Structure 1
Amino acid sequence: MSDSLIAPETQQERSERLLAIVKALPNLPGVYRMLSQDGTVLYVGKAISLKRRVGSYFQKNDHSPRIKLMLTQVDRIETTVVRSEAEALVLENNLIKALGPRYNILFRDDKSYPYLVVTGHKSPRLAYYRGTLDKRNQYFGPFPNGYVVKESIQMLQKVFKLRTCEDSVYANRSRPCLLYQIKRCSAPCVEHISPEDYRRDVHNAVLFLNGQANELLKELEARMAAAAEAWHFEEAASVRDQIQALARIQEKQFVSSNTSELDADIVAAVVKEGAVCLNLAMVRGGRHVGDKNLFPSNAADYDDAEALEAFLAQHYLDRNVPSVVICTPPPANAPLLAQLLSDQAGRKVVINSNPNGERRVWLEMARKNAELAITQRNTHSASQAGRLQALIEALDLPEDTQRIECFDISHTMGEATVASCVVFDDGDIQPSQYRRYNINGITPGDDYAAMRQVLSRRYGKIAAGEGKVPDVVLIDGGKGQLSMAEEVMAEVGLTQPILIGVAKGETRKAGLEQLIFATTHESLQLPRDHAGLHLVQQIRDESHRFAITGHRAKRAKARVASSLEEIEGIGPKRRQKLLARFGGLQGVKAASVDDLIQVEGINRDLAEKIYGALRG
């Protein structure tokens, strides 16, 4: 019998088939996966008893709307038996991270949180770092975001003047760089500081990063007094400046601990106004090093305790964990999680949801920050939702319009052409979905051909099923660019996106934009204070910013390479040595002939040729 003659399975038959699967499950710990008819994993869960836990989905009627909706889509159930609940927890979270099921609460997997590293070189380097840790170096962190690390590096440069340059630049310097001139580096590369004094500065920086600021201040005060007694007033003044800078830094630490070397994370989960937010604050060496607000995906119908439990498992398993995690509300599996994290860290890890004293203050601060973040996010979302609704009404767009994509082209006289695509979806700008396209094989400066290429590349793939079809496509340009977009959509066979051109007014001032509609090419100018116009401007400006940033980077890279490549006698090896020695093209341009001949492989004739070519 052909497949077309087989009657589709009824809801009753599907339920009976799933119940038969449940009856065959063992009373053992494990992980279960709910799958849809096309094989998509809908949900991953763990259980002490697979039979009881999975069976509860089909025996109860008081499920949340989320679970009820999921059960209507379940076609089959897969299970994996493990030895213990701890193993089930680990496997569950590994599968959640790998599969991203749509009905599991999901936290963005920031696997490589940033660190501040002091390298193990003879003259150690201070640097920003993400990735696998190397035992030869000293790492401090992790930090909640890159901004905190970069701010810490700037702070330490001011106080301790440690080098931050790459090894290739450091090894080939013949004179101090700009950082030495502005008193941000002591120039160990050219021995403007003795190796002993530089190592002492590194030692002091490490003391500070380890939370031993008070001990460091005492040591510096003693050194300043000794220098003054010996009439070494310049050294005493330098140490005094360090002391004052450190004191100012300490004043900025709005959280401090009586336990100076404490490492702790403070996590508060809050459900408010229909949203779930977790505030993660980090204390390292007794110093507050920053916090971040996390809004998980698929969080509908989860309460604060469930959200916190999911975060602790997804965030800390297979990652560095501090000695203490202070959290609210109490997670259901706190003892199990604490044991797993202790085994993972090789030391005791405490999960404390009922702290005293200053730690209770920290936890309350984190909770308030999470509440504030929800309020701010909802206010922003309401504003964006209002703008989108105003645009829908003004342009008579479908009521379910959500996804808007916008394209822009950037180049300089046809050089290094780059196209950008930015995305507005789910009520906000979505930076993770932005894309840049390098445009090649066209006549330089032909914006129409550039627009054709980027649209063909993007929507050719989407027409083939690789991506999400937008509701609206904004084209930064007039009727010409819009006509090109219409041709491309006809060629790839997409009819769903509504195409709208965004043309600047005669004076190119904000607020005078003309919105041009596909097919009719009629134009509309919304009032300057129209909320819908503000949304279009926001998306268009973001597209322009993203395009021009990519264009400038591409142009700079091309010019660095081409300027030296055009000089006869400069091959890849000599070009690399020149750039490494002088720290980039600008350094090569600023170098004298005498400086240039110091580079291996560069004689005086070639140095004069380079000097003339770059200065001509």
Structure 2
Amino acid sequence: MAAKNPTPVFDHESFLKNLTRLPGVYRMLDAEGAVLYVGKAKDLKRRVSSYFSRALNRRIQLMVSKIRAIEVTVTHTEAEALILENNLIKSLKPKYNVLLRDDKSYPYIYLSADRFPRLAYHRGKRQAKGRYFGPYPNAGSMRETLQLMQKLFPVRQCDNTFYNNRSRACLQYQIKRCGAPCVGLISEAEYAEDVKDAVLFLEGKANQVIDGLVKRMEKASAALEFEQAARLRDQIAALSRVQEKQYITGERGDMDIIACAVKGDVACIQLFFIRNGRNLGNKSFFPSTGGVEQEGEILTAFITQYYIGKQIPQEILLSHTPVDRPLLEEVLGQEAGHQVKLRQQVRGNRAQGLRMAAHNAQLALDAKLASKAGMQRRIELLQQALSLDEPPNRMECFDISHTSGELTVASCVVFDATGPVKSDYRRFNIEGIQGGDDYAAMAQALTRRYTRLQSGEGVLPDILFIDGGKGQLGAAADVLDELAVVGVQLVGVAKGPDRRPGMEQLFLFGKDSPIILPADSPALHLVQQIRDEAHRFAITGHRQRREKSRKTSVLEQIPGIGSKRRQRLLKQFGGLQGIARAGIVDLERVEGISRKLAEQIYAVFHEDR
């Protein structure tokens, strides 16, 4: 049998003889025609020749050994070549290029154009009438800002369906987070003032907001409207505290700060968003490096892939010098429609911000390396399984535990990208429901938990897991709807046939068919871990409550009986049985026990006789 003809080695000398010196893009192909690498060049012949003539590092040597063909596309300018290179890298995803996997649209805060405008989460095309503020690095930072806005300005955040069907004010009005325009508890003019202040704040004009509030406070005080003046005073104080924490000294415009840290084949890009002088938060990126180890090369690839097609600030601070910085500034300026400066050598507060970004990049890289094959991978797979826009940063799970309906305890456990966040765990002793009604118990726990979160005491999760099927999921959805909680993905975790581990079904709220993951799925293992932790925490709380009820003396339930009086009674009568046999007169003889208290003690031991 004849041997199969081997693929001929690429004849680079013949190829280079006829290669143009114009700018353009080159694509290196392997024996199967797959693209190994995409690059751009001001002079195609000079650039491609360098792969075959100079001393190459191990990565480039390996790539060149696989080349069987090279295709080129000539462009008019190097800037055009850079844009084409970016588009080809995104579509072809070559093995040896630096690849930015996170290419999702970023969230914005949306102010609607309604008569009584609402503030809301928005992701995607900005087509609806109104204003958009952002972008924010992730949904978590955007929700944090929305929660902050609720504290500072009572502008509604509920959707129009909820708003148009109200007959009474909701919880947000009761906790002073909304003026309740839905039921006419605030005039259109007053509401417009709150909206105006909210817009100024989002535009970075907090000082202007404070000046206006001071004038309104003085006017209210002069008119003897002291309650209104006090509310404005508290609002001014809150704004001042926020301004101290969120604003970067000396900065009032838009700016991004980007730092890169590399170790081995893993790189971390840390991006801080500064908009109107406010730090909107930061986001970590872990691009596939394709073997590239130089921070400047990785930053160049990141800047090209990240910014082209997005809003670009006027200034970007960088931890390392990128390759072809003048060309990058030219292309970014053309994309943005204004001048864009890439800076590395900075001083003062900017240098401090750059150091902070570099420190965060190193910390994120260390955390990534520590859990490279663990938690991060499971979260990414969970994102894929649930079709989420981005990996969840925070997940919560609730469970209920009781014995025959008595001493019911609900648990809430919290996980983030590093695993359990035990400091945020909570338990709820459930009272006032019919024993064994798990729906009511779950509703009470969720109401207590998310009332606090909506009041600003904590952070809303990206995913809320409920241990149960569609029934529990529906009960949870009703609670969140009543509290006007939005942007949280509800997932019910139902036990499968025979209640065997690995057979769980995941129900997403609003979808009829469950998601069934393979028993060996890392995403399912993560869900099981979170569910089991909630179960363990609930059972532990229930057992503690049960043991406490057994050990607690009935004397502790009587008002006026402290530890000293209890000890005197027990010593005087030799224990609870002696106290139970004693009469009112006998009890009254004990030091510190009055006639009235003696009657109360006697009634407790004889009420059922």
TM-score when normalising by structure 2: 0.62
Give the Cα separation in 2 of the matches to 1:162 and 1:305: 45
Match for residue 343 of structure 1 among 316, 334, 352: 334
Give the Cα separation in 1 of the matches to 2:470 and 2:148: 42
Number of the residue aligned with 1:189: 182
Task: Judge conservation of contact 2:273–2:282 (CA < 8 Å) in 1.
Answer: yes
Number of the residue aligned with 1:263: 254
SS of match in other structure, 1:158: helix
Counterpart residue identity of residue 540, structure 1: H
Task: Judge conservation of contact 1:324–1:352 (CA < 8 Å) in 2.
Answer: yes
Alpha-carbon displacement from aligned partner over 1:307-361 (angstroms, at most 9, x marks no partner): 1111111111110011111112122222222122222222222222222322122
Number of the residue aligned with 1:358: 349
- 1:159 paired with 2:144, answer no
Give the Cα separation in 1 of the matches to 2:113 and 2:505: 48
Task: Judge conservation of contact 1:276–1:299 (CA < 8 Å) in 2.
Answer: no
Task: Judge conservation of contact 2:248–2:279 (CA < 8 Å) in 1.
Answer: yes
| Aligned residue runs from structure 1 range 90-101, under 5 A | 90-101=83-94
Number of the residue aligned with 2:47: 53
Match for residue 10 of structure 2 among 15, 31, 49: 15
Give the Cα separation in 2 of the matches to 1:262 and 1:189: 36
Measured after TM superposition, the shift of residue 135 of structure 1 is 7.1
Match for residue 287 of structure 1 among 278, 282, 296: 278
Match for residue 242 of structure 2 among 240, 249, 272: 249
| Aligned residue runs from structure 1 range 81-230, under 5 A | 81-134=74-127, 136-230=129-223
Q: Which moved more, 1:222-231 or 1:325-334?
A: 325-334
Task: Judge conservation of contact 1:116–1:127 (CA < 8 Å) in 2.
Answer: yes
SS of match in other structure, 1:225: helix
SS of match in other structure, 1:252: helix
SS of match in other structure, 2:269: strand
Counterpart residue identity of residue 46, structure 1: K
* Cα separation, partners in 2 of 1:76 and 1:544, compared to 1, 3 Å: same
Q: Percent identity among equivalent residues?
A: 42
Measured after TM superposition, the shift of residue 21 of structure 1 is 2.8
Give the Cα separation in 2 of the matches to 1:246 and 1:452: 47
Give the Cα separation in 2 of the matches to 1:437 and 1:73: 49
Measured after TM superposition, the shift of residue 414 of structure 1 is 10
Gaps of 5+ in 1: 386-409, 418-435, 455-472, 477-535, 550-616
Counterpart residue identity of residue 256, structure 1: I
Measured after TM superposition, the shift of residue 5 of structure 1 is 4.8
Task: Judge conservation of contact 2:333–2:340 (CA < 8 Å) in 1.
Answer: yes
Counterpart residue identity of residue 250, structure 2: N
* Cα separation, partners in 2 of 1:71 and 1:449, compared to 1, 3 Å: same
Number of the residue aligned with 1:35: 29
Counterpart residue identity of residue 278, structure 2: R
SS of match in other structure, 2:173: helix
Gaps of 5+ in 2: 377-465, 474-490, 507-517, 535-609
Number of the residue aligned with 2:308: 317
* Cα separation, partners in 2 of 1:273 and 1:412, compared to 1, 3 Å: closer
Match for residue 308 of structure 1 among 299, 307, 319: 299
Counterpart residue identity of residue 263, structure 1: D
| Aligned residue runs from structure 1 range 432-447, under 5 A | 445=497
Counterpart residue identity of residue 64, structure 1: N
Counterpart residue identity of residue 9, structure 1: P
Counterpart residue identity of residue 15, structure 1: F
Number of the residue aligned with 2:18: 24
Alpha-carbon displacement from aligned partner over 1:407-447 (angstroms, at most 9, x marks no partner): xxx99589899xxxxxxxxxxxxxxxxxx9999xxx98456
Give the Cα separation in 1 of the matches to 2:503 and 2:348: 61
SS of match in other structure, 1:348: coil
Counterpart residue identity of residue 525, structure 2: R
SS of match in other structure, 1:281: strand
* Cα separation, partners in 2 of 1:122 and 1:135, compared to 1, 3 Å: same
CA RMSD of aligned residues (A): 3.5
Give the Cα separation in 2 of the matches to 1:373 and 1:202: 37
Give the Cα separation in 2 of the matches to 1:35 and 1:145: 36
SS of match in other structure, 1:271: strand
Task: Judge conservation of contact 2:496–2:504 (CA < 8 Å) in 1.
Answer: no
Number of the residue aligned with 1:369: 360
TM-score when normalising by structure 1: 0.62
Measured after TM superposition, the shift of residue 126 of structure 1 is 0.5
Measured after TM superposition, the shift of residue 542 of structure 1 is 3.5
* Cα separation, partners in 2 of 1:384 and 1:161, compared to 1, 3 Å: closer
Measured after TM superposition, the shift of residue 272 of structure 1 is 4.0
Alpha-carbon displacement from aligned partner over 1:268-302 (angstroms, at most 9, x marks no partner): 12334664222111111111111122221135333
* Cα separation, partners in 2 of 1:448 and 1:376, compared to 1, 3 Å: closer
Measured after TM superposition, the shift of residue 83 of structure 1 is 0.7
Alpha-carbon displacement from aligned partner over 1:164-215 (angstroms, at most 9, x marks no partner): 1112222232222222122211111122111111111011011111111112
- 1:378 paired with 2:360, answer no
Give the Cα separation in 2 of the matches to 1:245 and 1:280: 28
Alpha-carbon displacement from aligned partner over 1:94-138 (angstroms, at most 9, x marks no partner): 111111111101112333111111122221110111111237321
Give the Cα separation in 2 of the matches to 1:381 and 1:450: 24
Measured after TM superposition, the shift of residue 48 of structure 1 is 1.2
* Cα separation, partners in 2 of 1:81 and 1:540, compared to 1, 3 Å: same
Q: Which moved more, 1:296-305 or 1:270-279?
A: 270-279
Give the Cα separation in 2 of the matches to 1:229 and 1:413: 58
Structure with greater Cα Rg: 2
* Cα separation, partners in 2 of 1:156 and 1:415, compared to 1, 3 Å: closer
| Aligned residue runs from structure 1 range 477-492, under 5 A | none
Task: Judge conservation of contact 2:266–2:288 (CA < 8 Å) in 1.
Answer: no
Task: Judge conservation of contact 2:270–2:285 (CA < 8 Å) in 1.
Answer: yes
Counterpart residue identity of residue 32, structure 1: Y
Counterpart residue identity of residue 248, structure 2: S
Q: Which moved more, 1:142-151 or 1:162-171?
A: 162-171
Query: Number of matched residues?
Result: 418
Task: Judge conservation of contact 2:258–2:269 (CA < 8 Å) in 1.
Answer: yes
SS of match in other structure, 1:111: coil
Measured after TM superposition, the shift of residue 157 of structure 1 is 0.6
Measured after TM superposition, the shift of residue 540 of structure 1 is 3.3
* Cα separation, partners in 2 of 1:270 and 1:546, compared to 1, 3 Å: same
* Cα separation, partners in 2 of 1:135 and 1:366, compared to 1, 3 Å: same
* Cα separation, partners in 2 of 1:270 and 1:122, compared to 1, 3 Å: same
Measured after TM superposition, the shift of residue 376 of structure 1 is 3.0
Task: Judge conservation of contact 1:257–1:287 (CA < 8 Å) in 2.
Answer: no
Give the Cα separation in 2 of the matches to 1:383 and 1:546: 18
Give the Cα separation in 2 of the matches to 1:102 and 1:226: 67
Give the Cα separation in 2 of the matches to 1:281 and 1:438: 36
Number of the residue aligned with 2:423: none
